[in-house]
Amino acid sequence: MSQRPGRARRAAAGLHVVFVIWRIHVKLYLASPFEGFLNIVWPLFFAAMAFLIDDATGNHVIMRYTLFGIAAMGVWSSVAVSGSSLLQHARWGGMLELIVAAPRSFSLILASMTLALETTAVFSFAATLIMARYLFGIPVRIDDPALFIVAVVLTMIAMGMFGFVLAVSAVRYRSAWVIGNVLEYPGWILCGFLVPLALLPAWAHPVSDVLAPTWGIEAMRAAAGGQSPWTGLLICGALAVAYVCAGVLIARAVVQSARVHATLALS
Amino acid sequence: MRSLRLAFIGGLLTYRGLFGWLSPWIYIPNLLVRPVIQILLFVQIGRAAGIENPQFFVIGNAIQFTAVPCLFGMVMTVADERSQKLLGITMSSPAPRLPLFLGRALPVAVVGLLVSAFCIAASTVILNFSLPGKAIAPLLLVILVAAASCTGLGLVNAAIGLRHRAAIVVANILDLLLLLLSTADIPARALPHPLRVLSGYIPLTHAIAAGRQLAAGATLQAVAPEIGREVAVGAVYFIVGLITLKYLEFSSRRSGSLETA
């Protein structure tokens, strides 16, 4: 009994840390021309291109399948491009050593930062849907708004956790931003944001299956179409948990190695 | 002779010192792998939507991707002088400005040509299609013209970078505008009328049209008018870029703001 208040206090303190880091980084990212402005504008251009190509077909082949996928492209871009270079920016800013030496878990701090990235990406998600509705006249129909919002939030969290894995994996790579640049388009293809997964070659399907956004978008489409989104939600949630576990293990190994070899600031 | 030396040796030295993507860890993924994936992405979209053939997207995107080294390279080799603490020295040197900045544009345009040629070669292998043998040399000429033309736009942006810190952000936006408007991925008929008109006045549009005609079997003579229009567009941007550089250099000196942007 005596341990319960202690645990509860620790959990509350942990949540407080997550909230403070999240709030500070949302403010930082929104003020940044790259993480704020470009992460919103960049996917909007691609969305506009997809809408124009769809218009050219005359029968709205793309839009019937992929409106929510197009809206989620910006979230993926944010994860891939900004997530992979998150720690590099911390290094350039002289913050990496402070983050690693902080008395809080390195993973907790980093996961809070990637969640902040995902929060700013919500703007691009919303902006794409607004552009689709009001600039291109595409109807945005959502039959089950409550489950749709659950699917959106869970997909954002899952993508944030993928960004967390990416961020810790790229910490020793000096040009980490390039990893994000290269992963951006493959993510759009493999998660089925723009084209149906059935059009991809067979070898690509297992890769798509281990990417949480594939299932998150599936759940969004199901909720919007009035079908059950639970399979997609459960697999997306399970993959998010798997990303967290993988990220924590990688973070421990990477930080330990950097401390032992004194390479944290050098790579 | 002195101007040629300044253009070629000065350009090469600046390129080696300031073009930040020369490391193979950046060059290969960013300038060779990414454009090929961009081509595959749009080929997939085209297949899903049932419009155009893969060749349409390969030629369009390969030529459009010259924009990346040309726009970003020009920002790096001109505006990034500030972060290296060299801008004041460069601007106070008595070197004539035309060879100084044309020299910086040359290596960047060559990188644009190489990247684009690589994209076409890789795509023909991956997507299993072939180009007419007689089209290859004229196509390289078209790509070179496209790269030079885009470098003109890059020069305008680099000039703005003398006064504004956000030149690299503007380069991103210009790249997106070229992708949207140059008909690299969207057939001209699918663009709204005002955008279709605008697309005729930006770099790459005419080069992409010429490239597609060559890939379809047209002769160099047949596409000469398109190449001529691309040269004209590029020349206008170059002249605007040089005038902007001259003006912003002068106004920066007058207001003492060269290092404060």
pLDDT digits (tens, 9 = 90+) for A53-81: 888 777 666 666 678 888 888 888 888 88
In the predicted model, residues of chain A with pLDDT beneath 70 are 1-5, 59-65, 266-267
In a domain, A256, yes or no: yes
Q: Give A170: exposed, middle or buried? Use CB within 10 Å, 0-12, 13-18, 19+.
A: buried
Please tell me the predicted confidence (pLDDT) of residue A65.
67
In a domain, A267, yes or no: no
Please tell me the predicted confidence (pLDDT) of residue B161.
83
Please state, as a whole number, how many other Cβ atoms lie within 10 Å of the Cβ of residue B28: 14
Number of domains forming the structure of chain A? 1
Listed residue (A52, A46, A62, A66) closest to A225, CA to CA: A66
Please tell me the predicted confidence (pLDDT) of residue A64.
61
Rounded to whole angstroms, the Cα distance separating B59 from B146 reads 12
Please tell me the predicted confidence (pLDDT) of residue B260.
63
| HEC secondary structure over B90-118 | HHHCCCCHHHHHHHHHHHHHHHHHHHHHH
Q: Using a CB-CB distance cutoff of 8 angstroms, which residues of chain A are in contact with residue B41?
A: 185, 188-189, 194
Rounded to whole angstroms, the Cα distance separating B102 from B111 reads 15
Please tell me the predicted confidence (pLDDT) of residue B82.
78
Distance from CA of B250 to the nearest CA of A (A): 28
Please tell me the predicted confidence (pLDDT) of residue A84.
82
In B, residues 16-45, which contact A (CB 8 Å cutoff)? 23, 25-26, 29-30, 33-34, 37-38, 40-41, 44-45
Domain membership of residue A201 as a residue range: 3-261
Alpha helices in B11-52 (DSSP H): 11-18, 24-27, 34-49
CB B160 within 8 A of CB B241: no
Rounded to whole angstroms, the Cα distance separating B137 from B149 reads 18
Interface check B51 vs A, CB under 8 A: yes
Interface check B172 vs A, CB under 8 A: yes
Tell me chain A's radius of gyration from C-alpha atoms.
19
Cβ contact B190–A189 (<8 Å): no
Global pTM value: 0.88
Distance from CA of B221 to the nearest CA of A (A): 31
In a domain, A266, yes or no: no
Give Cβ neighbours of residue B19 (< 8 Å, ≥ 6 apart): B73, B76, B77, B107, B108, B111
CA distances from A77 to A34, A39, A49, A183, B212 (A): 11, 7, 16, 8, 30
Nearest to B176 among A42, A50, A196 (CB): A42
Query: Can you say how many angstroms the Cα of residue A110 is from the centroid of all Cα atoms in its chain?
Result: 13
Q: Averaged in consecutive runs of 10 residues, what is the pLDDT profile of chain B (261 residues)? A: 83 84 88 93 88 90 92 83 79 82 85 92 90 91 94 89 83 93 91 93 95 93 96 95 87 76 56
Give Cβ neighbours of residue B144 (< 8 Å, ≥ 6 apart): B109, B113
The amino acid that residue B136 corresponds to is: I
Cβ contact B49–A56 (<8 Å): yes
Rounded to whole angstroms, the Cα distance separating A124 from A103 reads 34
CA distances from B133 to B19, B61, B136 (A): 34, 20, 6
Cβ contact B44–A196 (<8 Å): no
CB B21 within 8 A of CB B111: no
Rounded to whole angstroms, the Cα distance separating A254 from A247 reads 10
CB B47 within 8 A of CB A202: no
Please tell me the predicted confidence (pLDDT) of residue A223.
93
Helices (H) and strands (E) in chain B, counts: 13, 0
